[in-house]
Structure 1
Amino acid sequence: MIVDLPDTTTSKVSKSLVKIREENGVVALGRVLTLVIATTPGVEEEAIEAANDASREHPMRVIVVSSDPDEPEGVEPRLDAEIRVGGDAGASEVIVLRAHGPVAHDEESLVMALLLPDAPVVTWWPSVAPAVPGTSPLGRIAQRRITDASSQPDPQAALRALVDSYTPGDADFAWTRLTLWRAQLAAVLDQPPYAPVTRVHVTGAVDSPSTTLLAAWLRMQLDAPTGFVLTDVSEGSHGIHGVTLERETGVIELTRDQPGVATLRQPGQPLHDVALPRRNLRDCLADELRRLDPDELYGEVIRSGLALLSEPEAEGATA
């Protein structure tokens, strides 16, 4: 069910939400958190769909704040709202706030009256994020703050900017997308022979900050010289392409040469096909909502691991 509330106030939205619960039996019990999504007009639906899917694992209230940062000055203040419950909201209740004029510049006040009482708050910026999420109006009220460097105009620059803006509780989907790669590489190195890695080489698309983060994580964990190459997206697929680990006993290669499937090559063993799909928004969001405490390893990689890397190598370089 979708209820439209044009030219309204947050007080009226809150009262309407209570009325909908009373008339339709929708309850807030069991909601474990409030997810605030800060986005721009025209791109809300993809984020809402991901949140609805993730809510089946994490029942929550979703508050979408949609405003246009390029809106011309002089626009009359106006707030249009939409409440979605039932089949239109997954296992959550969705409140969409479309703010115009001066109203859009007071995001914190817009959402405060709609937060679930005594429940954690997570803020997610699916597209462009503030320069310092932790000190932004919607970031200050949240225990966890989620950004996505890959959705920024310059993903690699956005990743580097996270170094200076990092606050405990920050997270970025560039790191979340590494979960399957990290698990697979850790499993490979947990098998004999246990020879140390002498060199690491990572390749991926230039629009993939996950490639750079993977190289930084491997540099920290293996304490071995690490190089990485970022290729133009027109010359190959998006995302991470592959990892090469050199040891005295031979070379280990994990290469994603077709969508969703990687080939694992190890000395003295047959080739193995490994499922390594690119994680979608729903998977990344659900993963991040499983923990509401700061991700300390991510913080270490952002603050220390990236500094250990040299500049990307030229295309065609080898490990």
Structure 2
Amino acid sequence: MRIDLDDTTAGAIERALVQGRRAIGTPAADMVLTMVIVTDEENAYDATRAAEDASREHPSRTLVVIRRPARIPGAGTWSHLDAEVRVGSEAGTGETVVLRMYGEVSEHAESVVLPLLVPDAPVVVWWPVDAPGIPPRDPLGALAQRRITDASTAAAPLRELQARLRSYAPGDTDLAWTRLTPWRSALAAALDQAPARVTSAIVEAEAADPSAELLARWLEARLDVSVGRVAGAGPVVTAVRLGTDDGELVIERPAGPVALLTLPGQPPRTLALKVRPTSDLIAEELRRLDPDDMYAIALRGRGVKENGVHV
């Protein structure tokens, strides 16, 4: 069910949600959290679809905040709020409200969002693009227990990581880190199968890829070795090579969803190591809302380098 509201208010949106739930017989009590997506019009569709897909695992109310230009040709500057309310099959297993804000109301988005939060439920804020400089101090970010950014969408991803380092607070995370979960799991399992002292490491990935930088710094922190960065064709991380006292441990994924694992003294074997869609990344982040200590460790590594220079 879809309800369009023009020049509306938060109170009218809440009434439309109640109307929609009654029409399809779905109680609000099923909502386990509120997901707030702060994005632009260009990225709103993909981000909303990802959140709605993730809501099949985590039923939630999704509030999509889109700030629009305040000046209309011939009409001057105005303050205006339009909303699109979706419930039932059009909103995954939860509810979706697309909020298009114009003028002064867009500068105080938290005043619209606050009354629409699911009562007594966690709040997650996700910026698919253009994250604020200090997410915990952003008016919307301050409402959340979890704040999700994505350094890979920035014009200078490694500089974006540096900004995330300067502004880090418990509850922050980044999808560049979430993309590494299969790699981290595969590397931990490989070292369990072939325990040996690691003496060197190399991460091969696309140039200036933030996931590769975080992986390298995580390995440095956990293994206490220097990690080399080698530019590859991608996508994202394509290989990790660990030198050990017994020989080289290698995971390579040159293309496609299958990687090759080589352990010292053992025949190569294949691993499933696909590049996951954004909906899977968001669903993973929603499984735990406590601080991500490992992300903090990786982020606070030896510092982000760009062209070999600290930034």
**Same fold flag (TM > 0.5):** yes
Q: Residue 207 and residue 49 in structure 1: after superposition, are their counterparts in 2 closer, same or farther (change >3 A)?
A: farther
**Distance in 1 separating the partners of 2:306 and 2:96:** 43
Task: Supply the distance in 1 between the matched residues of 2:34 and 2:305 (Cα, whole angstroms).
Answer: 40
* 2:298 is aligned with 1:297: no
Matched, 1:240 2:237: yes
Residue 312 and residue 169 in structure 1: after superposition, are their counterparts in 2 closer, same or farther (change >3 A)? same
Per mean C-alpha deviation after superposition, the further-off stretch among 254-263 and 282-291 is 254-263
Letter in 2 for 1:205: E
Equivalent residues of 2:71, 2:78 under 8 A apart? no
* Whole-Å separation in 2 of the counterparts to 1:79 and 1:94: 16
Structure 2-normalised TM-score?
0.94
- Once residues 302 and 179 of structure 2 are traced to their aligned partners in structure 1, the CA distance between those partners, rounded to angstroms, is 17
Counterpart secondary structure, 2:217: helix
Give the AA of the match of 1:197.
V
Is 1:17 aligned to residue 17 of structure 2?
yes
Gaps of 5+ in 1: 315-319
Number of corresponding residues: 306
Equivalent residue number for residue 6 of structure 1: 6
Change (3 A) 1:312 1:153: closer
SS at match of 1:168: coil
Q: Look up the match of 1:220.
A: 221
Cα distance in 1 for partners of 2:31, 2:81 equals 26
* Structure 1 residue ranges (4+ consecutive) displaced by more than 6 angstroms after TM superposition: 309-314
CA deviations on 1:141-169 (whole Å, 9 max, x unpaired) are 00000000001111111112111010110
CA contact (8 A) 2:70 2:79 kept: no
Query: Is 1:284 the counterpart of 2:281 in the alignment?
Result: yes
Residue 153 of structure 1 is matched in structure 2 by 155
Q: Distance in 2 between matches of 1:262 and 1:268?
A: 18
Give yes or no for contact 2:21–2:87 (8 Å, CA) kept in 1: no
* Equivalence for 1:198: 199
Alignment check: 8 A CA contact 2:81 2:102 kept: yes
Name the TM-score, length of structure 1 as normaliser.
Answer: 0.91
The whole-number CA distance in structure 2 between the counterparts of 1:80 and 1:72 is: 15
Aligned-partner Cα distance in 1 for 2:47–2:38: 10
Cα distance between partner residues in 1 of 2:302 and 2:91: 39
CA 165–287 in structure 1, closer or farther in 2 if over 3 Å, else same? same
Extract unaligned runs of 5+ from structure 2.
Answer: none
- What code does the residue aligned with 2:274 have? P
